Amino acid sequence: MSFNNLDTLYRQVIMDHYKNPRNRGTLADESVTIDMNNPTCGDRIELHLQVEDGTVKDAKFEGEGCSISMSSASMMTQAVKGKNIEDALEMSSIFSKMMLGEDVEDVDFDLGDIEALQGVSKFPARIKCATLAWKAMEKAVSADEEE
């Protein structure tokens, strides 16, 4: 597939997650809730994680922001559901490396739709948009472990 076709496909995936976000909403009281924002552009996310026995049982989010931040939140909640905390944090580390333009070809996880965000690494001002939900997830997992 040519670069232009791949770029178009990635844009379509991002826009699909933006227009049809997965896991939008809230969770019951037993979840950990983290509010984060990106003051440079106004993106805001409220992440809800339900963690039981070291596993992310459910993940939902609410918020507002650009297509990159909201699609990244949608993709992240899909990716971490059912994962143990260590794997969720490893996925976040891989995502951070991808945002820094590092090679993430040989990873143990199927990144699925998340790969569509690879191109964001070429736009440093947008990296914080893409990583906002992932940073919220890291914070939520840490908060759950402290309880």
pLDDT digits (tens, 9 = 90+) for 101-125: 998 877 777 888 999 999 999 999 9
* Segment of 25-29, 47-51, 108-112 carrying the highest mean pLDDT: 47-51
Residue type, 98: M
Q: How many CB atoms lie within 10 A of CB 102?
A: 10
- Which helix (H) or strand (E) covers residue 89, if one does? helix 85-99
Higher pLDDT, 106 or 35: 35
Q: What is the pTM of this model?
A: 0.92
> 3-state class of 67 per DSSP?
helix
Domains of the chain in start order, with CATH, are 3-146 (3.90.1010.10)
The C-alpha atoms of residue 32 and residue 94 are separated, in whole angstroms, by 23
Tokens of 28: 């019951």
Say whether pLDDT at 92 is over 60.
yes
| Mean pLDDT calculated for residue range 14-22 | 96
